[in-house]
Amino acid sequence: MIGVDTVLRRAKDVRHRLLPPEAVVIRQTVPEVLVLNDVAGELLERVDARTPVSGLLDQVAPLYDVDRATLEADALRFLTELAEAGIVEVVA
């Protein structure tokens, strides 16, 4: 379960770039390419194996004109999907 206290890292074979309004993610080992929406892309960009999800939200919040609760709900959904797809891994 990913929550606001979860710390994540990108999987080693993940390569990604932000191409607003999308982000492109390539998993080298599979190989596969995924297109993310920009919120998921901005979150993925900030995943650093240190910052908890709440910190990622602090960084991303100023970019979007949306209330914190909505952003948090969306972010947790996106990050859960990224974890299920093997793009991010839970560190703590």
Partner 1 sequence: MTTFSAVMARTWRENQLFSVLVELTYRCNLDCVFCYNDLGLRGTPLSKAQYLKLLDDLQAMQVMNLILSGGEPLAHPDFFAIGAAARERGFVVRIKSNGHALSGVLARRLRDEVDPYIVEISLHGARPETHDRQTRVPGSFERLLENLRGLRALGQRVKLNSTLTGWNEGEARAMFAIADDLGIPLQFDPEVTPRDDGDRSPLSLTASREGIRDLFRLEFERGDAAEAAAGPRPVEVARQADDAVPVSTSKHCGAGSSSIAIDPFGNVYPCVQWRVASGNLHEASIQEIWSGSAALAKVRQQTEEVKGKLAGFGKDAGLMNFCPGLAASRSGGDPLAVYDGATQRAAILGEVQAERKVIPLRVLETSSR
Residues 18-37 touching partner 1, rule: CB under 8 A, are: 18-19, 22, 24, 26, 28, 30-35
The binder of partner 1 chosen from 4, 5, 17, 70 (CB under 8 A): 17
CA distance 65 to 68: 9
Peptide bond into 31 cis (omega under 30): yes
Q: State the distance between the two ends of the chain, measured CA to CA, in whole angstroms.
A: 11
Least distance CB 70 / partner 1 (angstroms): 21
d(CA 66, CA 34): 25
Task: Say how many residues touch partner 1, by CB under 8 A.
Answer: 15
Binding site for partner 1 (CB under 8 A): 15-19, 22, 24, 26, 28, 30-35
